[in-house]
Structure 1
């Protein structure tokens, strides 16, 4: 990596949401670097968003940009395969790759025949990865990560790679503070929720004897410049509504943000929501989204929205509330470019 980016604290997603054109990641990575962003993130999907492939493409066409997963999973690749993917990306890029791990979606785990990732599995998985990256061997392991008689990647390896936790459950945040190098949070976390998340992460770090300030915190903020009504419905309402559909998912947001759980109960009992034949952000019409919007309080849609200056100030506000970095969500570099210029002009 040649030199620090202008805005190390700002980052965005590659291929935000669903895509059928993964090559767009190449253009988006170049744009993000040219704007001065410090990092891009890839949320892996099992169609055309393989983490190793897309991250390699982004790293190969940039010089300073960091590229991270947010996330992939510990249990969808053999630990040797995951370790190899990451070390390859590390050496390919001169150390610009970072690994973000999530537990995975419960329903998808079930459909793929995978068990839920436990804390013990995460701890053992991190230890295995870090051991292999230091050129050491894993021998005679049998535990949550499987049966691993002998793993070795070569004693010349010397990889010191940040491993980030992607999640936002209160118990998981304490756990992340104890074991991970950083935490990538979630969209629609309020100021109070962000401060609470930071406190939980630092509690976990302190209890583990770690420097609490060493665990970096990346807030995620949906960003929509000058939205018309359709933008508001599709980019904010539909996104939140889809989160609220998922069993156990919105409950964690409610707990972290201190919201009223009755709102979620009434939302799920609504006939429009309960009869929806899929994710709301994928199948709902604008007319349906108008009705669904009445079920979601305005203050649940915490976002950077409005003029370019409004969005830039919202990002700055996240940093003032304890985030080390802000992840711009739901917009491509082309769409949020005016807000970058506004951010550059803030005093």
Structure 2
């Protein structure tokens, strides 16, 4: 198998570690090793406030690997002091030999409300990124801005660390922000090909308007990948359950991003099944409930914004994402074991691509 100079066959592909809900974080170690063996360029790590701490998982992923890139996608700037967050990133940057990219997202307003934390704004994100970069480059300073007031911040005056910053983005404002300040952008799952192309164009335009090289921003699409060999119950959970959970949490944002029918979202919300539903559908939804949502409630067009069917059909959808403008593709919602046939099929369809580093935040 031909590899890139960094040692991975497919630096443009990635997966998530511990995809979805997990009660066994130690599973990540074997997942990272297998993802590396498959030739994937990176493994991304989301954060949940249970057994998925971003720093702990990233440290474990770095220790379990030697070639694959590691990306936090994502944590929030408001859940840690900026000096603590910057320290996490510099530690992972050096521990990994430069394979780590630090990712930030907005998070969920209602969750921050009940946690007693301020809701995240674009101004806060931009300010926080500026703080981290100053710390990573050895500055000592006081700061007062949207991200908070800090009398004195310093890591080490000898630092000169180039840690790439990833930003999660879905709406036009967050896409524009990412184009202005981030090194890489991670888009959202269940975007149509048209929305993907439009999102990429928004990021690149914002970068150019900010005086940056648009090609220097690495754009990751996130493609729900549910291949036929996965048992039906799991396929339903990974596809229908995942989309329904997003619609439960921030459906209007996703529907508007895709120019989908808001009336269909309202019908979903008003369906008797959803009234008082006790949790996330991708976690507790039954096979009957998810089948009902697929067949009776969710528009087929919405579910089609994914990769399903045979391994070859899924691999072709990956190629479609690259053709629509993405630099790279995260195969979302499946473990490396489940992705193995898709990756093998992709090897036979892979287009001619520019060389990419395994660090998921860099383009060169």
| Aligned twin of 1:270 | 271
Distance in 2 (CA, whole Å) between partners of 1:307 and 1:146 is 50
| Aligned twin of 2:171 | 169
Shift of 1:232: 3.7
Contact 1:10 1:327 in 2 (8 A): yes
| Aligned twin of 1:344 | 347
| Aligned twin of 1:299 | 301
Contact 1:276 1:284 in 2 (8 A): no
Shift of 1:2: 7.7
Distance in 2 (CA, whole Å) between partners of 1:239 and 1:199 is 27
| Aligned twin of 1:145 | 147
Q: Which has the higher contact order (CA 8 A, sep 6+)?
A: 2
TM-score (norm 1): 0.96
Q: 1:190 to 1:290 in 2, by over 3 A?
A: same
For the residue of structure 2 that corresponds to 1:9, the secondary structure is strand
Q: 1:9 to 1:235 in 2, by over 3 A?
A: same
Contact 2:139 2:154 in 1 (8 A): yes
Shift of 1:174: 1.1
Shift of 1:142: 2.0
Runs of 4+ in 1 over 6 A off after TM superposition: none
| Aligned twin of 1:326 | 329
191, 194, 200: which one pairs with 1:192?
A: 194
Distance in 2 (CA, whole Å) between partners of 1:235 and 1:151 is 43
Distance in 1 (CA, whole Å) between partners of 2:333 and 2:169 is 18
| Aligned twin of 1:210 | 212
Distance in 1 (CA, whole Å) between partners of 2:235 and 2:63 is 35
Contact 1:2 1:64 in 2 (8 A): no
Greater alpha carbon shift after TM alignment, 2-11 vs 190-199 = 2-11
RMSD over aligned Cα atoms: 1.5
Shift of 1:345: 1.8
| Aligned twin of 2:131 | 128
| Aligned twin of 1:8 | 11
| Aligned twin of 1:223 | 225
Give per-residue Cα distances to partners, 1:71-118, cap 9 Å, x unaligned.
001111100000000000011111111011001111111111111112
Distance in 2 (CA, whole Å) between partners of 1:197 and 1:308 is 27
Distance in 1 (CA, whole Å) between partners of 2:91 and 2:42 is 19
For the pair 1:251 / 2:252, whether they are aligned, the reply is yes
Shift of 1:230: 2.7
| Aligned twin of 2:354 | none
| Aligned twin of 1:178 | 180
For the residue of structure 1 that corresponds to 2:166, the secondary structure is strand
Distance in 1 (CA, whole Å) between partners of 2:334 and 2:235 is 13
Distance in 2 (CA, whole Å) between partners of 1:211 and 1:34 is 33
Shift of 1:131: 0.5
In the alignment of these two chains, the number of paired residues is: 344
Shift of 1:9: 0.2
| Aligned twin of 1:201 | 203
50, 53, 57: which one pairs with 2:56?
A: 53
Q: Which residues of 2 match residues 72-91 of structure 1 at below 5 A?
A: 72-91=75-94
Give per-residue Cα distances to partners, 1:249-299, cap 9 Å, x unaligned.
221222221111110011111111123122222232222222222111111
Contact 2:126 2:177 in 1 (8 A): no
Greater alpha carbon shift after TM alignment, 278-287 vs 77-86 = 278-287
For the pair 1:31 / 2:37, whether they are aligned, the reply is no
Q: Structure 1, unaligned stretches of length 5 or more?
A: none
For the residue of structure 2 that corresponds to 1:107, the secondary structure is helix
Shift of 1:67: 0.4
Q: Which residues of 2 match residues 83-122 of structure 1 at below 5 A?
A: 83-122=86-125
Distance in 2 (CA, whole Å) between partners of 1:58 and 1:65 is 9
Shift of 1:146: 2.1
Q: Structure 2, unaligned stretches of length 5 or more?
A: 351-364
